[in-house]
Amino acid sequence: HGLLTIAGGKLTTMRSMAEEAVDRLVELVRTRGSEVPVRPCSTRTRPLPGGRSAAPALDDLPLQEESRHHLRETYGGRAELVADLVRDDPSLGLLVDPELPVIWAEILFAARHEHAVDLLDVMRRRTTLFRDARDQGLSVAGRVAELVGAELSWSVVRRERALMRYRAALEA
């Protein structure tokens, strides 16, 4: 067995690192006797999710203009998927934090479409709440855990553990 590890890196170099990792993995598999045809890595030219199509206007949504702009800039062509959540449930268009453009639909989107599986994942990597909220999202973490937990069928115990892990991450 082999192990391929990627550590460190900056946002600006991640695609290059991904290409190198895939190329090395393909080389490793081939040296172990695999004859399965593998296409060259396409990460250099493949658009990021939402980057293939233009961001929608979102003018039909009852959102603040700052939130519309945030959705277009953050999700690109996939902003329409977040918008559909608001169309289905207008309460998801409300701000998560009154000082930020993040809306509740983004929380649900993270669990439903971005493979988020934990509260910390949603708060730190799928939204800007951990980084930008004055309290790093602590005041809304319980509600976020409820929404994500309902989507992912978490038990009450799992929600409580997720909150404890988030609080521990903030303390660290």
- Please tell me the least confidently modeled range out of 40-44, 137-141, 150-154: 40-44
Q: What is the mean pLDDT of residues 110-128?
A: 93
Distance CA 18, CA 29 (A): 16
Q: What is the mean pLDDT of the chain?
A: 88
- Please tell me the least confidently modeled range out of 50-54, 107-111, 123-127, 137-141: 50-54
According to the model, what pLDDT value does residue 54 have? 67
Indicate if the pLDDT at residue 100 is higher than 90: yes
Give the CA distances from residue 79 to residues 1, 51, 119, in Å, rounded to whole numbers and listed in that order. Answer: 41, 10, 22
Tokens of 72: 């277009």
- At 5, phi and psi to the nearest 5? -120, 140
pLDDT band for position 119 (cuts 50, 70, 90):
very high
The more confident residue out of 2 and 105 is: 105
Q: What is the mean pLDDT of residues 65-82?
A: 92
- Please tell me the least confidently modeled range out of 17-31, 62-76, 153-167: 17-31
Distance CA 83, CA 93 (A): 8
Q: What is the mean pLDDT of residues 33-62?
A: 76
Tokens of 115: 């493979």
pLDDT band for position 11 (cuts 50, 70, 90):
low
pTM of the model: 0.76
